[in-house]
Structure 1
Amino acid sequence: MRLHNKVAVITGAGSGIGEAIAHRFAAEGAYVVGASISGRAEKVAAEIGGSAIGIKADVGDEDDVRRLITTAEDAFGRIDILVNNAGFGGGLMPLHEQTTENWDRVHDVNLKGVFFCMKYGVLSMRRTGGGSIVNISSATSLVGFKHHSVYGAAKAGVNQMTRAAALDYADDRIRVNAVCPGTIWTGLVPMSQESPEPPPGVDRVPGIPIDRWGLSDEIASAALFLASDEASYITGAALPVDGGYSIGYSGMGAENPGRSID
C-alpha cells in the first residue's frame, strides 16, 4: 500500500498506460481521479470502485483542467499526486509534410496540456504541503526518431518543463519527474486491438536491446515508484523505460509496421 490514502489525478486514464496507472495506484491504496477526453475514464473508475471517479476533460482546454483539479479537491479534499499521461501522437511524417493544424493539436495536448495541469496541480499542492508530479514523456524526447519531429519536439518540451518545475517547487516539497516510455503495446498499436499482449511472431522489436514490446504495466510501475515516497530524493529526472531504445537506437524508421512510440 505504497500510496495509502493519497489522492492521485491521472489524465488520459481511459485506456492504455493511463488505465494501467489508475488501476495500479488504486491497488496501492490511492484515491483516483481519472480524466479522459473520450469519457472512458468513467468506465475505468467504475471498474476500480468507490475509491475512484472519472471525468471527461480535454487537457488542452484550460477551463477543463481547472474543473478537473477543483473536482478532485471537492471529492477528496486535496491532491497528492498528479500524473500527466494524456497524449496525442498526431501524424508521423517528414517535417516538411507536417501541417500547422497537426503541430497545434500535438502541442495542445502533449505540451500545453501538461502546462495547464501542472499549473493548477501545483497551486493545489502548495496549499496542502507538497506532492509528486509524474509527467509521461517519451523516448522520442531523448533521441531523434524518423518522422517524429513534431511529437518529439513536444515531448522534449515536457522534459525541460519537468526540470525547471522541479527547481521552482523544491522548496514547496513538490517533486516533479518524467517517465519516457519506448515501444509500448497500447491501443495506439493497431494489432493490439485484437490482443492485450503481443502474440507470438510480433513480440520482438528489432533495434531495441531488450528485444520485445514494453507493456503498460511496466510504465505504471515506473510511475508508481516516482509518485511514492520511495522516490523521496528524486526530482527533475527523465527516466527512460524503453528497453534500452535511447542508448541502443539502431535507426529504425517510422515505416516499420505496427511500431508506435507512446
Structure 2
Amino acid sequence: MSKPQFSFEFFPTKTDDGITKLYQTFDTLNELAPSYFSVTYGAGGTTRERTLGIVEALKNRANTPIAPHISCIGDNKSQIAELLDFYKSIGISRMVALRGDLPSGQVGMGELPFAVDLVRFIREHSGDHFQIEVAAYPEMHPQAISFEQDIQNLINKFEAGANSAITQFFYNAESYLYLRDALEKRGVDTDKHRLVAGIMPIINASNLIRFADSCGADIPRFIRKQLADYGDDRKAIREFGFEVVHRLCEVLIAEGVPALHFYTMNRVEPNKRLVQSLGLTSSSTQA
C-alpha cells in the first residue's frame, strides 16, 4: 500500500515573536518533506497583509509549495484579481479557495457570494495556472439545508474547476468514508478529485471543544467525556489526543485516503510525532 501524502496548515500570527516562532516551526516541519503548506486568511480578509507577507516569506524560505487561502467574502472581483496576479508573480501555483466568514458588522455577500463563484472566477481570470483546493464537510456544513445539498455543493465546486477538496476536521472515520462513497455514487472520480482528510491534533481540550462547536464539527462523546475526566492534566490530554488521532489516521490510511492535511495550530508537536509514527516519511519510525 502506498503512503498517503501529507501537508500542514498555518495561520497568520499577530506579533513579531509569533512570526519568528512560525518560521522556526516551518523549518522543522519542512524537514519532514510535506507536499505543501497552506496559510489561512481571516474573515473578510482581516489578515490579508499578514497572510501575503507570510506566504511570500515562506515561498522564499524553501522549495516546498505554499498554498495561500483565498476567500471571496469581503473582497470584490478587482481585489481578488489583484491578489491572484500577485500570487502568480511570486511563483505561487496552488491555493485554497473558500467562501470565508462574514466579518463582524458586514452586511451583504459581495460580488462572489459563494466558494463556487470564487472557483469559477479564478479559472476565468487565471486559467489553469492554480491548483485549487476547496473545503468539504464530512459532517455537513453548519449552514447547509441538507446533507444532499451539501454534497451537491462540493460537486458544483469540482465542476467549476476545483482540483481537490480538504475536509473540515473530524474524529469519526465513517463520516469521511460516507462522503467519499457518496461522491463516487454521484459519478465523481475521487482519484482525479481527491478528498483530502483534514486532521486536527488534540492539544487543548477547551479550545478544541469551542472551535468544534463554532464550526459544526462533532467530537464523539467518548472523547468529550475522557477530556473532561482529565481536567487540567495537560500531559494526559496530549497523550490521549495523540492516541485518538493516530488511530483515526491509521483507519483512513487503511481505507486508502490519498492525503492527510494537518491543522498544526502553528506547533511542531504533535504534528511531527504523528507524521513520523504513521510512517509517512522515509525516515519515520513506527510508534
Range class of TM-score, shorter chain: 0.3 to 0.5
- TM-score for the superposition, normalised by structure 1: 0.40
Bigger radius of gyration among the two:
2
